[in-house]
A and B are shown apart, each in its own frame.
Chain A
Amino acid sequence: MENKSRRNFVKKLGVSVGAAGLVGGSSLLSSCTQVETASGDTIKLLTSSGELVEVNKAQLKPADMPNLTEQQKRGRKGLPGRKFVMVIDLSKCRNARECMKGCQKHHQLRPEQHHINVLQMQDAEDTAPYYMPKPCQHCDNPPCTKVCPVNATFKREDGIVLIDNERCIGCRFCIAACPYSARVFNWFEPRDAEKYEGVTYNIEANVPQKKGTISKCLFSADRLRDGKLPTCVSSCPNGVYWFGDQNEDAVTNGTTHETVSFSKLVRDNAAYTLMPELGTKPRVYYLPPKDRAFPFQGEIEDHHS
């Protein structure tokens, strides 16, 4: 009994002394690191609320970026309460192709891949040719999402049709289903592939692109989340694009930043949608190419005679 208790006592003593040593040591260590951080130099930072603050450099930690699954989840939900709509004024386009350049840079597209493409159009033999930028129409009744066998492409509640390259198996059913030829396939390694190596996939920008999967116009959903206009809209030098929320009935011009009523704009100018007979209900409206500001300079092959 006595032996036992003594042994216990010694044991306890050993443990407690050890523990105290451990605690003391670690506190010493931690105080050392604290001293180190306090002496570091400071850096000026702008917070997300717009305040300029001074922070110790050593205390800086990389911001928590949403991981892949979180991004995929919120990318499927969309922005609450919004219903994005685009209006393209065909009378203003002069084929400057700034929208295409900006888009290809943003979405890591090769020169032959187009989320948005400026086409040369002529509707009938005797009518005037004109330029027509053609992005994805973001149909309210999209034929492409219905044929996807793996639920990789989907329609969001805010009107945008997106594709998840992580799910896409590259069957290209959606390319066949889309009547507007809005989708592209990554046949080759995407542009700047080495620059985007190791970057977390962002479903709202389709970046980094993946070889063997589909990519498509997504109204720059990542920029919309930040409250910015899509890349093509803000890079146009000629005021071709209007973009906004149909629910609040307002669209903003990407060049002049003028905001007008969406319903008035499309009503006054007799706007139309592409291939309405298909019942796809596009979210992209076109204002007719009347009183064009710039002369047509391309060549139109004569397919009418």
Chain B
Amino acid sequence: MKIKLLFAALVFLAQQGMAQEWLVPEDQKSVQNPSEYNLDNVKKGKDLYLQSCKSCHGDPGKNNALPLVPPPPDFTSDIMQANTDGELFYKITHGRGGMPQFETTISEDDRWRLVNYIRNFNPENEPVLVEEPPKKAKILASVNEEQRQVEVFAEYQDKDSNYVVLAETPISIGAKKAFGTLPIGQVLTNDEGRAEYHIPESLIGDEQGMVTLVIDLGEGFINEDVVLDAAKVGQPKPTPKLIQKEVLWSTNENIQVWLLLSYLAAVLGAWGTIGYVVFLIFKISRAGKQE
């Protein structure tokens, strides 16, 4: 019995070990990447990465992937880079276990661009997309309630640690909601580092129409998010009544008045009739005695 159990355990372990290795069909392994390794493709690959991969794999090089089993490898890691282009493409396409399949959600060309992006971190390759270290930045912002616009001024710290205006940079504007910040728009700064964002009419605020705005520079800058306290620039949020008192025989608390009244009237009427009949019987018997 014990030997049998041990054998079963061994078989199980062996299977587990087999399952660890992600086998890619031989003919798929050697497929060449049809997408050229250039800045354009790598940039597109990065956008896709931010959208679909980052939530599990983390930031490349920072080893901050989600603690899943098996762990999603960092894009810069040897495990990742040891794959051939064909293997990477196959794995992105079909997925396995915790890794989703992207066959239906990302086009073939774009999956190859993702492979381009992964190769950007291969030590044997000349990286085409070099990430500059994030710069320190400052944002000043204010809301003009009358004209319903946000005025932003941004500057960043250059090499000599002087603050200079930040030109031609996208600034994202969001509105605080119950559980997160809803992005509402983006605006480019001009040569003076200034930008004006016109708040759309349809933006919903709280019951009074107050909106808390969050102004943020994209990645590549270190700055504190600027949070503009509630400004009256949104539509007041609708708060329709949800509960109708259409509960039937539940409790007195929930009952509708017409129902309660008609019930009471019926009960009183019935008892009244009975009482009246009894009263008449007494009356008859008394009349009989008097005779």
Answer yes or no: B239 CB below 8 A from chain A CBs: yes
Q: Are B206 and A291 in contact (CB under 8 A)?
A: no
Contacts of A294 in B (CB 8 A): 95, 100-101
Q: Digit string of A233-277 for contact with B (CB within 8 Å is 1, else 0)?
A: 000011100011101111010011111110000000000000000
**Residues of B178-195 whose CB lies within 8 A of A:** 178-183
Q: Are B250 and A248 in contact (CB under 8 A)?
A: no
Answer yes or no: B253 CB below 8 A from chain A CBs: yes
Q: Are A260 and B254 in contact (CB under 8 A)?
A: no
Given contacts A140-B242, A247-B238, A291-B105, 12 further A-B contacts (CB under 8 A): A81-B206, A81-B207, A92-B100, A148-B250, A149-B250, A158-B242, A229-B179, A247-B237, A252-B178, A259-B174, A259-B177, A259-B183
Q: Digit string of B236-270 for contact with A (CB within 8 Å is 1, else 0)?
A: 01111111001111110110000000000000000
Q: Are A249 and B251 in contact (CB under 8 A)?
A: no
Answer yes or no: B98 CB below 8 A from chain A CBs: yes
Q: State the majority secondary structure of interface residues on A.
A: loop
Q: Are B177 and A244 in contact (CB under 8 A)?
A: yes
List 9 contacting pairs A-B, 8 Å CB cutoff, sorted by A: A140-B242, A151-B253, A237-B68, A245-B177, A247-B238, A252-B177, A259-B174, A259-B177, A293-B102
> Across the two chains, which residue of chain B brings its CB closest to A253?
B180
Q: Are A157 and B242 in contact (CB under 8 A)?
A: yes
Q: Are A250 and B178 in contact (CB under 8 A)?
A: yes
Interface size on A, residues (CB 8 A): 44
Q: Are B237 and A81 in contact (CB under 8 A)?
A: yes
| Known contacts A245-B178, A259-B183, A293 near B95 by CB under 8 Å | yes
> Across the two chains, which residue of chain B brings its CB closest to A258?
B180
Answer yes or no: A83 CB below 8 A from chain B CBs: yes
Q: Are B95 and A250 in contact (CB under 8 A)?
A: no
When chains A and B are docked, how far (Å) is the Cα of A151 from the Cα of B248? 11
Answer yes or no: A159 CB below 8 A from chain B CBs: yes
**Residues of A74-99 whose CB lies within 8 A of B:** 81-83, 92, 94, 96
Contacts of A151 in B (CB 8 A): 250-251, 253-254
Contacts of A237 in B (CB 8 A): 66, 68, 98
Answer yes or no: A111 CB below 8 A from chain B CBs: no
Answer yes or no: A155 CB below 8 A from chain B CBs: yes
Best-buried of B207, B239, B253 by chain A (most CB within 10 Å):
B239
When chains A and B are docked, how far (Å) is the Cα of A147 from the Cα of B57? 49
Answer yes or no: A295 CB below 8 A from chain B CBs: yes
> Across the two chains, which residue of chain A brings its CB closest to B94?
A295
Q: Are A247 and B239 in contact (CB under 8 A)?
A: yes
When chains A and B are docked, how far (Å) is the Cα of A249 from the Cα of B68? 32
Contacts of B179 in A (CB 8 A): 227, 229, 243-244, 250, 252, 257, 259
**Residues of B186-242 whose CB lies within 8 A of A:** 204-207, 237-242
10 A-B pairs closest in CB distance: A293-B100, A259-B180, A250-B177, A252-B179, A291-B104, A252-B180, A151-B251, A259-B182, A245-B178, A247-B237
Contacts of B98 in A (CB 8 A): 94, 96, 237
Contacts of A146 in B (CB 8 A): 246-248, 250
When chains A and B are docked, how far (Å) is the Cα of A94 from the Cα of B183? 28
**Residues of B101-154 whose CB lies within 8 A of A:** 101-102, 104-105
Answer yes or no: B273 CB below 8 A from chain A CBs: no
Answer yes or no: A231 CB below 8 A from chain B CBs: no
When chains A and B are docked, how far (Å) is the Cα of A252 from the Cα of B183? 11
Answer yes or no: B28 CB below 8 A from chain A CBs: no
Chain B proximity of A20: nearest CB distance (Å): 57
| Known contacts A249-B204, A261-B182, A256 near B55 by CB under 8 Å | yes
Q: Are B243 and A157 in contact (CB under 8 A)?
A: yes
When chains A and B are docked, how far (Å) is the Cα of A49 from the Cα of B72? 37
When chains A and B are docked, how far (Å) is the Cα of A159 from the Cα of B206? 17
When chains A and B are docked, how far (Å) is the Cα of A259 from the Cα of B249? 42
> Across the two chains, which residue of chain A brings its CB closest to B184?
A261
Q: Are B177 and A248 in contact (CB under 8 A)?
A: yes
Answer yes or no: A213 CB below 8 A from chain B CBs: no
When chains A and B are docked, how far (Å) is the Cα of A94 from the Cα of B68? 14
Answer yes or no: A165 CB below 8 A from chain B CBs: no
When chains A and B are docked, how far (Å) is the Cα of A146 from the Cα of B95? 47
Q: Which of A82, A140, A145, A159 contacts B178 (CB 8 A)?
A: A82
| Known contacts A81-B237, A140-B242, A249-B204, A260 near B182 by CB under 8 Å | yes
Chain A proximity of B242: nearest CB distance (Å): 6
Contacts of A92 in B (CB 8 A): 100
Answer yes or no: A150 CB below 8 A from chain B CBs: yes
